[in-house]
Amino acid sequence: MNALAPRIRPPMLAAGRGLVLSVYGLAVSIVLFVLAVVSIAFVLLGIGVFTTPVVLQAVRCHANQRRFWAADWSGVRIAAPYRPFPPDLRGGVTGQVERTTLLLKDPATWRDLQWLLVDMTVGPVVAMLAAALLIYPVEGLVLAAGLWHVFRNDPYWYGFVPVDSQGTALAALALGVVILAVGLKAAEPLLRLHFLIARPLLAPTPEQTLAQRVDRLTETRHEAVDTAASELRRIERDLHDGAQARLVAMGMNLGTIEALIEKDPAQAKKMLAMARESSAEALTELRDLVRGIHPPVLAERGLGDAVRALALRLPVATEVTVELPGRAEASVESAAYFAVSEALTNAVKHAGGDRIWVDLHHGGGMLRISVTDNGGGGARIGSGSGLSGIERRLGTFDGVLAVSSPAGGPTMVTMELPCALS
């Protein structure tokens, strides 16, 4: 029984979710569609100007809930295609008119209404089928257990089996077992099919996807330029305040030594020792600076070993798992390395945990990296945070960042970069 539980639980869960979708989704979609149509029709009378934004916002919340369930329950990712409102949108009646106009001009609004029609017809049928295939066999069991006596004089059709005796009831039970076996196999695919049917209407059109991609790449390009300029200023500052200052001081000391070498050999010897220490410190600072630009271990041995070396320097126990059959482009490896470095720094500084796990693997043309800690959670992507910096760095390469950090932990930072390995 314990061995069967892991195999039965996922289809049973999918059936329950299908039942929720068929009942909840059908009821809400019908109500919202009727309200939306009536409200839009009343725009010309003036009443719809005040009701339409509210109703259409409710439609979007309903659609966003379905997008969330699609990703959470079946791994079907559906992006939101809505146009943002301008930041200077006015209030009052004028603002309501403008808001209503913007909503009605947005193609996603009309695609949402089309989806409501699908969600009250085809959608609930597919979702209910996932549940029915697991619920219907229970009726066959009940008939075989003795309920068939009720239909002794008037046969009851269970599927294609007329039940009016113990023999036909057992045949119904056998049919129910077959249906149950089919249901256990089909429940999860049927639930996924429900979301796949919705995706063409809830997802952005190819034109919108291309436009969003161009906007995103334009934004990340500007951020990359700003980041590069900031990095150059940091390097210049570090050179000026660090190694350059030490080299200048060492040159002055050598000039003094040259003057003292015959007059005061002992003092010249001391100053030579100081110059040697200054040169060693300058060399260390230059090495640290080079490591901050592009670590030698990354160039020589690749991302996996570079991350392992990074983990060895952390004060928290860190376990690194690497499954990379090859190497990515140098620029991608560099972006991934510094993104991991920033994520590890955040975990050490803010998480408060005592263990970190890093996983790197490649599949489906994507480099996937997860950094997990057992700290207190509560991490968020926000303006000025380290996670925002990681998101900007990944965005330059069309990568994405996802953060799961519930209160109390654990925190998982997941990064994905499209790339090929060589």
Q: Looking at residue 133, what is its pLDDT?
A: 83
Q: Give the Cα separation of 163 and 171 in Å (integer).
A: 8
The pLDDT of residue 382 is: 65
CA 275 vs CA 240, 252, 267, 271, 286: distances in Å: 18, 9, 12, 6, 16
Tell me, yes or no, if the pTM score tops 0.85.
no
The predicted pLDDT at position 1 comes to 45
Q: Tokens representing 343?
A: 């994520």
Token pair for 366? 């994507």
Structure tokens at 171: 């045949």
Coil/strand/helix, residue 417: strand
Enumerate the β-bridge partners of residue 356. 318, 373
CB proximity list for 22: less than 8 A, separation 6 or greater: 123, 124, 125, 127, 128, 131
Task: State which residues of the chain have pLDDT below 70.
Answer: 1-6, 88-94, 208-209, 211-213, 215-246, 282, 285-295, 382-386
CA distance 186 to 182: 6
Rounded (10°) angle between helices 26-41 and 122-144: 150
Of 403, 348, 406, 357, the closest CA to residue 377 belongs to: 406
Distances (CA, A) of 214 to 36, 80, 340: 32, 16, 26
Query: Could you tell me the maximum CA-CA distance found in the chain, to the nearest angstrom?
Result: 129
Say what the pLDDT of residue 225 is: 61
Which tokens sit at 394? 């990944």
